[in-house]
Amino acid sequence: MDKSLKQQKTVLITGCSSGIGHAVAHGLQRHGYHVIASARSGADVERLREEGLSAVQIDLDRIESIHAGLALALELGEGRLYGLFNNGAYGQPGAVEDLSWEALEAQLRTNLLGWHELTRQVIPAMRRQGEGRIIHNSSVLGLVAMPFRGAYNCSKFALEGLTDTLRLELHGSGIHVSLIEPGPIRSRFRENAYRMYQRYIDAENSVHRARYRAMEARLRKEGDAMPFTLGPEAVLKRVIHALDSRRPRPRYPVTVPTYAFALLRRLLSTRALDALLRRASGGGSR
């Protein structure tokens, strides 16, 4: 694709304060796209602007923030928006029986409902221009479930189903829809997960308190928490393909665990896969 043409293409990215969103925003700008990075806090938005990015404030938990942020993004893109990369999310650790209504609602509001509202508001602009790319950052935990990650599993399984449906419905519109499915990626994911764990999980009064102590050690661990962890640039490569390719793929696996579990899900019985996932659940994943 000619670089001068790509420079006219605007891509909005959520969750750019750190990790995958931050790396993808800067990587796409180097690649020639007009990037509009978004973050929840005003301080992060200012920092992104100081780094040379166009930036808007979008809090995925607040519908008015989503609408206002998108309106500003469309203004910055002169009414056009070629791509949307939904990435802003967090993981809520905890056993399913320890998840309160508030904890699960908060997880789904950020990881699913906010993305859905932003996506549905973006689609009319893409329809008017006759093209667009919608890319959702899912997870290996949208393919298989691991214990003590029920809220996050739930949000990503739901995202996979909603995105598959959207892809079918937008066929022929010129708008392509893709899922990125990372395994372990270096980011502040565990740090943010630990904060939400402390907020919502009453570990001391849980039957799982012994397991929680081991989980807390993993969440606080410095460095990579499990083998095959990659940097966020691995996700950037897939996002570039989903934006540049004439026929973007519906799914982009990232990291060895995603490829492995996708294969094992097809080959193994549910009981055999359950046993494997229980043994593997000592690690962490994006």
152 in catalytic set = yes
Chain centre distance of CA 140: 11
Chain length of the chain? 286
Cα distance between residue 91 and residue 150, in whole Å: 9
Cα distance between residue 222 and residue 12, in whole Å: 31
- DSSP label of 48: H
Task: Look up residue 267 and give its two tokens.
Answer: 């080959």
Judging by DSSP bridges, how do beta strands 83-86 and 54-57 pair with one another? unpaired
Cα distance between residue 68 and residue 198, in whole Å: 31
Active-site hit among 152, 200, 212, 252: 152
User: Taking Cα atoms as reference points, which of 54, 47, 88, 45 lies closest to residue 73?
Assistant: 54
Which residues are catalytic, by number? 152
